[in-house]
Structure 1
């Protein structure tokens, strides 16, 4: 193991690795494992909409997402919803 190895910002120890190995040998309850994939944002599967942003707008979007402790996608969704409601 590399020195100072982390997972989700937490230090990974040799004892943690041994515990994970023991769990793997014992077997996993597949139904209990965390479901993979992106969470739904509505009742239906979301569609991807690619957009191009100039560097200044892109940087402003990143700053706003960080300021709001949110994601860039969520900031765009909120802005678009607000704009569509006002139109």
Structure 2
């Protein structure tokens, strides 16, 4: 079983950060990250403002609770798990 949440990922470096909000997917049993979306979340193509507001509230709720992740560290962790 997999669950996901929104989380900020820095795809840059500490010196030159590049932040985006991504959907991050976890293994429900281990709690380990198993993947994340290739591109940051896009906030467009909504049929109405209520849907957009709901997604924004969910995003804010999730990112307030979680630390910023570094993509380079995520990739290293995935490589270790696949060895």
Instruction: Quickly name the TM-score band, shorter chain normalised.
Output: under 0.3
Q: Which has the higher helix share?
A: 1
Q: Normalising to structure 1: TM-score of the pair?
A: 0.24
**Structure showing greater Rg:** 1
Say which structure, 1 or 2, has more relative contact order (CA 8 Å, 6+ apart).
Answer: 2
Q: Normalising to structure 2: TM-score of the pair?
A: 0.25
